[in-house]
């Protein structure tokens, strides 16, 4: 079953614009991660935020986490055509080493 649900399902923007994706989850978590998947390829880890953190930055990525609302957002600033991909949030239970539960993803299309 899906733990995370991303919103929106699809997003189309122009190069240079910011893209924001949201994720909601159901149970208490240890960490929340965001992954990117280019069409038909494997997933690539982007960023991890711990349950006791509220915000994290990595390059053009900014992730926020609100554990009271069980939600997270991923902001990609100054989008590029190369950012075109599907983005998934993934959560794990409060026990280290358990499998990740992925949402259905947001498909981002960045046009030049």
Partner 1 sequence: DSGVTQTPKHLITATGQRVTLRCSPRSGDLSVYWYQQSLDQGLQFLIQYYNGEERAKGNILERFSAQQFPDLHSELNLSSLELGDSALYFCASSVGGAKNIQYFGAGTRLSVL
Q: Which span sits near partner 1 by CB under 8 A: 13-21, 52-60, 64-72, 91-99? A: 91-99
Quick check: 65 and 90 in contact, CB under 8 A? Answer: no
Task: Write out the two tokens for 47.
Answer: 């960023």
Q: Cα angle at 60 between 57 and 79, to 5 degrees?
A: 150
| Site membership for partner 1, residue 56 (CB under 8 A) | no
Q: Which of 65, 76, 85, 101 binds partner 1 (CB under 8 A)?
A: 101
| Site membership for partner 1, residue 100 (CB under 8 A) | yes
Q: Which span sits near partner 1 by CB under 8 A: 15-23, 35-43, 67-75, 77-85? A: 35-43
- Phi/psi for 24 (5° steps) reads -120, 150
**Binding-site ranges for partner 1 (CB under 8 A):** 1-2, 30-31, 33, 35, 40-45, 48, 88, 92, 96-105
């Amino acid at each position: 079953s899906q733990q995370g649900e991303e919103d929106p399902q699809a997003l189309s923007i122009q190069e240079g614009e910011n893209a924001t994706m949201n994720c909601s989850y159901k149970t208490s978590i240890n960490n929340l991660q965001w992954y990117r998947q280019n069409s038909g390829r494997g997933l690539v880890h982007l960023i991890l935020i711990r349950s006791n953190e509220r915000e994290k930055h990595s390059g053009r990525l900014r992730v926020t986490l609100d554990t009271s609302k069980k939600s997270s957002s991923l902001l990609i600033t100054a989008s590029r055509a190369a950012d075109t991909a599907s983005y998934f949030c993934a959560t794990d239970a409060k026990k280290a080493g358990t499998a990740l539960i992925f949402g259905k993803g947001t498909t981002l299309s960045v046009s030049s």
